[in-house]
Amino acid sequence: MTKQISKRRQSEKPKAHTGEPTNGPITAEELQLAVRNHSLPLEALRDDITPAGLHYLLTHFDIPHIEADTWHLRIGGAVQRAVEISLRALRRDPAISIPVTLECAGNGRSLLRPRPLSQPWRLEGVGTAVWTGVPLAYLLAQAGVDEDAVEVVFTGADAGIQGGVRQQYGRSLPIKEAMRPDVVLAYEMNGRELPPQHGYPLRLVVPGWYGMASVKWLESIQVVTHPFDGFQQSVAYRYQKNADDDGTPVTRIKVRSLMIPPGIPDFFTRSRVLSPGPVMLKGRAWSGEGAVVRVEVGIDGKWVPAHLGHPAGPFAWCEWTLPWVADRGEHELACRATDATGSVQPLEQVWNYQGLGNNVVQRVKVNVE
Amino acid sequence: MTKQISKRRQSEKPKAHTGEPTNGPITAEELQLAVRNHSLPLEALRDDITPAGLHYLLTHFDIPHIEADTWHLRIGGAVQRAVEISLRALRRDPAISIPVTLECAGNGRSLLRPRPLSQPWRLEGVGTAVWTGVPLAYLLAQAGVDEDAVEVVFTGADAGIQGGVRQQYGRSLPIKEAMRPDVVLAYEMNGRELPPQHGYPLRLVVPGWYGMASVKWLESIQVVTHPFDGFQQSVAYRYQKNADDDGTPVTRIKVRSLMIPPGIPDFFTRSRVLSPGPVMLKGRAWSGEGAVVRVEVGIDGKWVPAHLGHPAGPFAWCEWTLPWVADRGEHELACRATDATGSVQPLEQVWNYQGLGNNVVQRVKVNVE
């Protein structure tokens, strides 16, 4: 399949999305995806570690059914010793547990104008879990990576069609990222066997990178000496200006913060009502590029620094809090994080063709009455 | 609040939904609900018991945060002895475990024309779990129900606004239903502590009834001598012809079957492609009104009887299977269940104003190539 793509003429190059971005209404296909994939309800931002079933979930194709007893992970390609390893054997290897915030690269897409046609996330394509498993670097060291290796390709058991290309979901990592000590082949989530929807029996977790890198339902790991050009690498998950732009690859998670909407919701509009008086505003902030160093809360356009908690790990979100005394009337609340690289969330989103890497400031309207 | 509603003039009666049913495009509010609530991915129909995180989830308001250590269930009203009971004490009472298929009463709503404006389910608002807890009848017997009692009212901790009415989610059951031996106050789902989103620390589960009856995050159980007229009973969850129709209450789940779409999906359209040759068509069927006695599979309009498996319990779905030899071309597959009362799924849905109790035959288009 990889070769199929590279042999095509540029004009025939498959597209990541079906149809051009639109200012029109939500389509039947987008609704279907919105219903099928799962968001984090914003009130679940109260938890350091997201309980099972509340973590965001994007399933590109179908959730495959895998029998762990007969399943093997194959490690091969540009290595000294190809390896085939069972889940039982993997569980005997040295294990690490690491809390990681994962966010979908398309989070926030439905708020863009025009709106790229794909999973129409609002702001809730995120979650934090503790992943337990074997460091990828440990297994790669056992296999012995060849000196001319440039990338490691991960292929999942999930199969389908995207952009007209029949494929199993596959992504690569540069060797340097693959050899990081915190990149893990996980068989547990939050201390329990991986749920089917999160990649049972084994998935990759790449802390700091958007979720597309953390390949689920792993079948094979291939070390390669040329950059991987599978669909999910060379077509999807690229920052493009338009359909003809080759673009640049999506990698690390941009700095973002979200707020638990205070008060109580209206069922249909989800608009918020709260009583006058003191209220503790709370939320989470994260970045894949460096620690979060500042969160400011906007109250009717005036920015106030929030108190920052300690994250459970270097790539896990941290809590922020700000006491507020709400007075009657309509108010607009917002939150804005800055990370150690100096990156700060934008007040207006810079648009890109696939709607990726959004991190615009969240705004929450509340009615105090 | 109950009194507030009953004292209003008919013209001021709150409405279950915001706005009239529409033939227009999906609205921003509907997308927001679709993104927030969770569906069962249809491939999860392969499991007898739905794994945690794949069961459907409709959260009317916000998921409340409840500290189990200080939480108490209050049982009162028309009883001999009002009771206040801790989770620890409840866990010492005799327990039952029961597999139950729950379906949202609004499942299928987005397929209606015109489309009532609420959570825009397609077909996947369903799931089956094993619920463990204390039979409600056991606790009611301990409290001693007065002779003139007619209903039992269940109130959850989840609060919000619907139809302009500020409320905690509340529903009632007729005494006769409440005294059924299989109606359970559940503190475990699939052998584990209830997840927050499924009603932690305690929820009601009413086997055979649509999901609205199974009140989550239970705070109080009140035995009453007059029919309950809270919003979720007297306004929402009624089969209405139009906004002025008082309608009739939604109760038991109508017979329905669903199919695991065979083959592989296109990411965006979810259309299915499979290879020619033998394929085992599979799915599930259930009814809250009587055992499923027949499932037929429609292949290009011709109905063939499927093989029926044994359900895990009287109110749990049962598997159906049908081997099919797929030949090249486009095909339309469908499935249709019949229950012991003789009810059969309709080929075309009879419309109602709130879009409730839908059980139209599912149709799956496949391209064999």
Q: What token pair was written down for B365?
A: 């288009």
Q: Which residue has the tokens 């069922």?
A: A267
Distance (Å) from the alpha carbon of B239 to chain A's nearest alpha carbon: 19
**B147, pLDDT greater than 70:** yes
Measure the CA–CA gap between B261 and B258, rounded to whole angstroms.
Answer: 9
Q: What is the CA radius of gyration of chain A?
A: 21
Tens-digit pLDDT profile for residues B168-178: 999 999 999 99
Cβ separation B39–A36 shorter than 8 A: yes
Q: Residue A328 corresponds to which amino acid?
A: R
Tens-digit pLDDT profile for residues B81-122: 999 999 999 999 999 999 999 999 999 999 999 999 999 999
Count the neighbouring beta carbons within 10 Å of the beta carbon of residue A307.
Answer: 11
Count the neighbouring beta carbons within 10 Å of the beta carbon of residue A280.
Answer: 10
Count the neighbouring beta carbons within 10 Å of the beta carbon of residue B20.
Answer: 12
Distance (Å) from the alpha carbon of A29 to chain B's nearest alpha carbon: 6
Among chain B residues, the shortest Cα distance to A33 is held by B268
Among chain A residues, the shortest Cα distance to B38 is held by A38
Q: Which of B28, B35, B44 faces A124 most closely, judged by CB atoms?
A: B35
Distance (Å) from the alpha carbon of A222 to chain B's nearest alpha carbon: 24
Cβ separation A197–B53 shorter than 8 A: yes
User: What is residue A14's predicted lDDT score, i.e. its pLDDT?
Assistant: 87
Distance (Å) from the alpha carbon of B316 to chain A's nearest alpha carbon: 21
- Contact by Cβ (8 Å): B167, B159: yes
User: What is residue A13's predicted lDDT score, i.e. its pLDDT?
Assistant: 79
Q: Using a CB-CB distance cutoff of 8 angstroms, which residues of chain B are in contact with residue A31?
A: 26, 30-31, 34, 110, 120, 122
Strand pairing report for A272-274 and A362-368: parallel
Q: Report the sign of the C-alpha dihedral through residues A236, A242, A246, A249, in that order.
A: negative
Measure the CA–CA gap between A99 and B26, rounded to whole angstroms.
Answer: 37
Measure the CA–CA gap between A343 and A258, rounded to whole angstroms.
Answer: 16
User: What is residue B1's predicted lDDT score, i.e. its pLDDT?
Assistant: 37
**A99, pLDDT greater than 80:** yes
**B5, pLDDT greater than 70:** no
The reported pTM is: 0.95
- Contact by Cβ (8 Å): A366, A279: no
Closest CA to B336 of B255, B261, B281: B255
- Contact by Cβ (8 Å): B262, B366: yes
Task: Map out the domains of chain A with their CATH numbers.
Answer: 2-247 (3.90.420.10), 256-368 (2.60.40.650)
pLDDT mean across residues, chain A: 95
Cβ separation A197–B39 shorter than 8 A: no
Residue A9: band (very low, low, confident or very high) from pLDDT cuts 50, 70, 90:
very low
User: What is residue B300's predicted lDDT score, i.e. its pLDDT?
Assistant: 98
Strand pairing report for B318-326 and B277-286: antiparallel
Residue B18: band (very low, low, confident or very high) from pLDDT cuts 50, 70, 90:
confident
Among chain A residues, the shortest Cα distance to B165 is held by A266
Looking at the complex, does the CB of residue A268 fall below 8 Å from at least one CB of chain B? yes
Tens-digit pLDDT profile for residues A160-214: 999 999 999 999 999 999 999 999 999 999 999 999 999 999 999 999 999 999 9
User: What is residue A17's predicted lDDT score, i.e. its pLDDT?
Assistant: 85
User: What is residue A73's predicted lDDT score, i.e. its pLDDT?
Assistant: 98
Q: What token pair was written down for B269?
A: 């359209």
Closest CA to A243 of A231, A251, A235: A235
- Contact by Cβ (8 Å): B131, B33: no
Helix runs in B23-174, H state only: 28-36, 87-90, 136-143
Q: What token pair was written down for A114?
A: 């025009």
pLDDT mean across residues, chain B: 95
Tens-digit pLDDT profile for residues B301-318: 999 999 999 999 999 999
Measure the CA–CA gap between B366 and B364, rounded to whole angstroms.
Answer: 6
Looking at the complex, does the CB of residue A18 fall below 8 Å from at least one CB of chain B? yes
**A339, pLDDT greater than 50:** yes
Looking at the complex, does the CB of residue A278 fall below 8 Å from at least one CB of chain B? no
**A142, pLDDT greater than 70:** yes
List the single best residue of B268, B269, B272, B364 to mutate versus A (max A Cβ within 10 A): B268
Measure the CA–CA gap between B202 and B215, rounded to whole angstroms.
Answer: 9
User: What is residue B19's predicted lDDT score, i.e. its pLDDT?
Assistant: 87
- Tell me the mean pLDDT in the region A239-250: 96
User: What is residue A203's predicted lDDT score, i.e. its pLDDT?
Assistant: 98
Q: What is the CA radius of gyration of chain B?
A: 21
- Contact by Cβ (8 Å): A58, A237: no
User: What is residue A8's predicted lDDT score, i.e. its pLDDT?
Assistant: 44
Looking at the complex, does the CB of residue B242 fall below 8 Å from at least one CB of chain A? no
Residue A6: band (very low, low, confident or very high) from pLDDT cuts 50, 70, 90:
very low
Cβ separation A51–B195 shorter than 8 A: yes
Q: Which residue has the tokens 């999807």?
A: A236
Measure the CA–CA gap between A338 and B117, rounded to whole angstroms.
Answer: 39
Q: Which of A25, A52, A161 faces B195 most closely, judged by CB atoms?
A: A52
- Tell me the mean pLDDT in the region B276-301: 98
List the single best residue of B35, B61, B117, B200 to mutate versus A (max A Cβ within 10 A): B35
